[in-house]
Amino acid sequence: MATVVKPTGPLRQIGAPPMVPRIAPREDLNPFRIAQIQFDMAAEFLKLEPGLRQILRTPKRVLEVSIPTKMDNGQVKVHTGFRVQHNISRGPGKGGIRYHPNVTLDEVKALAAWMTWKTAVLNVPFGGAKGGVICDPKRMSKTELERMTRRYASEILPIIGPSMDIPAPDVYTDAQTMAWIMDTYAMTVGHSVHGVVTGKPVSIGGSEGRSEATARGLLFVVEEACKLKKIPLRGATVAIQGFGNAGATAARLFAEKKAKIIALSDTRGGVTNSRGIDPIKAIRYKERSGTVVGMPGASRMTNDDLLTMKCDILVPAALENVITLHNAEAVKARIVAEAANGPTTPHADEILARRGITVLPDILANAGGVTVSYFEWVQNMEGLMWDAEEVNARLQKSMVKAFHEMVETMRKHHVPPRAGAMILAVGRVAEATLVRGLFP
């Protein structure tokens, strides 16, 4: 039964209507409804027409596929997969593919919507899309993953392509996954098509700098935020939840800037050392043992304690809904830099804003990945090969520009960062949708 609560903090600040619906007395953690709440606030602020709101708050296209996969024991297991295209007004769909047992269609719809806003914040000529397969990749062999990936690619093939929708890696998918998708596509159409996926290995048209782009982009926006908040990055304490592509690379890059990594975690738990943890040693330890837990020179801690520990910069780099109504009052970081998509709920956002904690929102903070994906696609389409130096310089320019455009919007409208980024993004997508007009 829906209850109604009065908005406070950022909800009120960005001109939301006097009452906002909350689905249940408990916090609603459905990612797609959260994405819609975030959109509604920006739409209300921009005074978008009701029809346009309806277009932008729902996905353009949803594809659900069945993926029969021959397992190594000879039996067939049928996995379910999705590809969602949220909006393509500004260009082809763009977004990662996630393999996880808890993938749901609503999660993929939310991630696709966030991609629409993310590509718009960075002003790259893409729309938003996302894919997901319900599976347990940690319990599958490489050959099983390859067969499942190739069949999934074949099932979504009619709606992907370099001018239509371009997948990339996300949680528990990587450059190898992209190579299989590219090859499946190439075998079907009869020739190589580099631009069908990004985040692929450099040897088959991937871009230098793509694998670390999400974390590098995060570092660039944190550097800008630290300048504004007068926090020296050198010596700043950093806690990172999630030690995969985004989190482990962020740890390494922050350490290169002489920030102190005081906690790290993965699914099995966390480790902490107030004197600092060497990320390279943590990466090597995790490669050997599959987790950071137990690494020498650090004591154990839980993921929950990591999120509320005293630190300058907290980097959630795992999954959605980790900073919620239940722990937001206890967060002690000065900056929350969202490497993950959707780690902070709208209610937690309000609490953090009231407490003066700066949240660098996912649609800006982790947009380095899609920005270098765009560079990869441009190189593929033009037959170019940029070196890492050029890619990183272009990335820095894009991230810093987007950060300052967000800050300008915040100052103009007196809103917190996520609202600033959303107003910027929704405004751009709305303009593109309006100028194109409605077909037919």
The residues binding ligand NAD (CB under 6 A) are: 169-172, 214, 241-247, 265-267, 303, 317-319, 339-341, 366, 369
Q: Residue 183 or residue 266: which is nearer to ligand NAD going by CB?
A: 266
The count of residues in the chain is 440
- Output 44 or 278, the one with its CB closest to ligand NAD: 278
Question: What is the spatial distance between Cα 419 and Cα 423, in angstroms, rounded to a whole number?
Answer: 6
CB closer to ligand NAD, 46 vs 282: 282
| Both tokens assigned to 30 | 């459905």
Tell me the two tokens of residue 273. Answer: 């050392």
Consecutive H or E run containing 52: helix 50-57
- We find the least distance from the C-beta atom of residue 249 to ligand NAD, in angstroms, to be 8
| Burial of 172 (C-beta count, 10 Å sphere; 0-12/13-18/19+) | buried
CB of 161 or CB of 244, closer to ligand NAD: 244
CB of 362 to ligand NAD, least distance (A): 7
Q: What is the DSSP string of 393-438?
A: HHHHHHHHHHHHHHHHHHHHHT--HHHHHHHHHHHHHHHHHHHH--
Which C-beta is closer to ligand NAD: that of 22 or that of 100? 100
The Cα–Cα gap between 288 and 294 comes to: 11
For the bound state, the minimum distance from the C-beta of residue 266 to ligand NAD, rounded and expressed in Å, comes to 3
Distance from the first to the final alpha carbon of the chain = 39
Nearest residue to 207 via CA among 426, 370, 417, 364:
370
SS3 label, residue 126: coil
Shortest distance, position 13 Cβ to ligand NAD, whole Å? 27
- Catalytic: which of 94, 130, 200, 286? 130
Nearer of residues 45 and 374 to ligand NAD, judged by Cβ: 374
Residues in a beta bridge with 20: 5
Q: Is 130 a catalytic residue?
A: yes
> How far is Cα 33 from Cα 394, in angstroms, rounded to an integer?
34
Q: How far is the CB of 265 from ligand NAD (least distance, A)?
A: 5
Beta carbons within 8 Å of 411's beta carbon, 6+ residues apart? none
Query: CB-side exposure of 29: number of CA atoms within 13 Å?
Result: 12
Residue 346 tokens read as: 């709208």
Single-letter code of the amino acid located at 7: P
Residue recorded with tokens 């949708």: 433
HSE value, Cβ hemisphere, 13 Å, CA-based, for 271: 22
Give the residue closest to ligand NAD by C-beta. Answer: 244
Query: Least distance (Å) from ligand NAD to the CB of residue 20?
Result: 26
| Cβ closest to ligand NAD, residue 242 vs residue 346 | 242
Single-letter amino acid code for the residue at 414: H
CB of 103: closest distance to ligand NAD in angstroms? 12
Distances (CA, A) of 373 to 22, 281, 337: 36, 29, 21
Catalytic residue positions? 130
